[in-house]
Chain A
């Protein structure tokens, strides 16, 4: 069922060291409804991949399957050469629209710290962990510096803007040096300058720390300069490949089973027209920059 636009030969991938994510023939059924079926996807280490598609196409569910939170009806998911549950400690996750009202009085730096020690049982014992605590403090300061949040990390979460909160949450997801970073609509509630800035930040940080990124996006615009590949989910099927191979009229038409046009404006932007869904979510697109 799946149509792939992958240009790489299959053999080349399997010879490399373990891929960050390897999904084959995966189907997820929730409440009797098939969310998606027979999806194949490979994300190599260090790659920056976006998952696109209309509302309800199963983008978040695909992420949850990779995290081991959504059970598969068929197929398999391998994360960093392990099962999703087994790879948990090596994956950073930023969920969509989380409610931080309980954390409103908590300092940013403490929220970042939870990413490091929030899963540990018991209390830190002062005499045993002195060296470890110092190295943890250093790592927290380092990752906060990395996302450019040092100026306000000591303030309460509730006092910060959406963009500032998002930077601290990215720091929290990165603090354990994950090998794979999963971001569910990280740009959703941000204004346009912040969208571009956060997208560039994620790309910069992850290429410096050699992290593969899998990112769900509603609007691909701010991501286009950074993307290695895209996954386009629609109608329970997936299309994967480089941006300019996937977002084309014939391929999207075949995926949707309806005529789709991809127009190029005079200033080089791409506009996708004719989607069966509400028109707002595919705004004009920038030409991808290689």
Chain B
């Protein structure tokens, strides 16, 4: 079978799948998307639970100073991403507890970090005579331009980040839901705050290289938020979150392959659709439960009468 230049969707699923996997760039894209989907949806589950989406957004914006700084220093862009995200995470962590009383102060600090990062990126760009290759890639990702060595680096970083997350999972859960009691029980709440911001920084840096800085949230926030609408259980929630992210990433890539529109658009659209579906299902369930409650007392009256 000769590779087709303009792939078209047939009604034969097997043929379509074979079509999808015939190019190495598509295989790498699917591998990278799988790794990133698992990483982002697990870390994102804690982001949504800890109400740290704004911190996540700020970290994703750090791709700009990261890439501009890397170009200036002659580093690979990926290294710039990780360094900029980690620095921003430490800056946010240094200014106070992420979970606690001073929420308004915390969000002002995060906004300040964000604007400082953007200003630094602008400065780096100017120092580098306005040269920044791949601005569109920076913003909207490179699903289809991932190399096999990039996939390996991504795999190593995802494995490391997920291992650390597993190690601190229960104390992190404890101090997220119940910081006062966790502190009284000797859980290092502050250290876990910092540790989680660094986990988030690495997850965002890894994800935004694939999805682009602006579309990171498609995998980082939408699938976990949908999962938390569906279930309040920890393990089930994580499984649902990962499942949604994987389906969204795979379907997005496949749709992009068979059409002329970019992968980032499809991934984001499918993520939004998953959230809307979860929200609708929850609303419907709530209405059913309410109707059952109102019906029960009248049934009791009938029986006693």
Contact = CB atoms under 8 A, between A and B. Distances in A.
A285 to B, nearest CB: 30
A102 interface: yes
Interface stretch (B126-134, B196-204, B227-235, B263-271): B227-235
Contacts of B50: 102
Interface in B227-272: 228, 232-234
A111 B182 CA distance: 12
A74 interface: no
Contacts of A110: 232-234
Interface stretch (B106-114, B138-146, B164-172): B164-172
The bracket for how many chain A residues form the interface is 20 to 34
Contacts of B182: 118-119
Taking chain B's interface residues, is the majority helix, strand, or loop, or is none over half, making it mixed? helix
Contacts of B177: 100, 102-103, 106, 111, 114
A122 B170 CA distance: 7
Nearest to B99: A102
Nearest to A106: B232
A200 interface: no
A69 B182 CA distance: 12
Given A105-B232, A107-B233, A110-B232, A172 B181 contact: yes
Interface string A86-102: 00110101110010101
Nearest to A109: B233
Nearest to A173: B181
Interface in B142-180: 166-171, 173-174, 176-178, 180
B169 A118 contact: no
A85 interface: yes
A67 B184 contact: yes
A93 B186 contact: no
A123 B185 contact: no
B176 A118 contact: no
A121 B168 contact: yes
B186 A85 contact: yes
B285 interface: no
A178 to B, nearest CB: 10
Contacts of A114: 170, 173-174, 177-178
Contacts of A172: 181
Contacts of B178: 98, 100, 103, 111, 114, 118
B51 interface: yes
Nearest to A115: B181
B185 A118 contact: yes
Nearest to B49: A102
A98 B170 contact: no
A117 B181 contact: no
A120 interface: yes
A107 B173 CA distance: 13
B53 interface: no
A95 B180 CA distance: 7
A123 B170 CA distance: 8
Contacts of A106: 177, 232
Contacts of B232: 105-107, 110, 156
Interface of A: 67, 69, 85, 88-89, 91, 93-95, 98, 100, 102-103, 105-107, 110-111, 114-115, 117-123, 156, 172-173
- Top 3 A-B pairs, shortest CB-CB distance: A118-B174, A105-B232, A95-B180
Given A67-B184, A115-B181, A123-B169, 16 more contacts: A85-B186, A93-B184, A95-B180, A95-B181, A98-B178, A103-B178, A107-B232, A111-B177, A114-B170, A114-B174, A118-B170, A118-B171, A121-B170, A121-B171, A122-B170, A172-B181
20 contacts: A67-B184, A69-B183, A88-B186, A89-B185, A93-B180, A93-B184, A95-B181, A98-B181, A100-B177, A105-B232, A107-B233, A114-B177, A119-B170, A119-B171, A119-B182, A121-B167, A121-B171, A123-B169, A123-B170, A156-B232
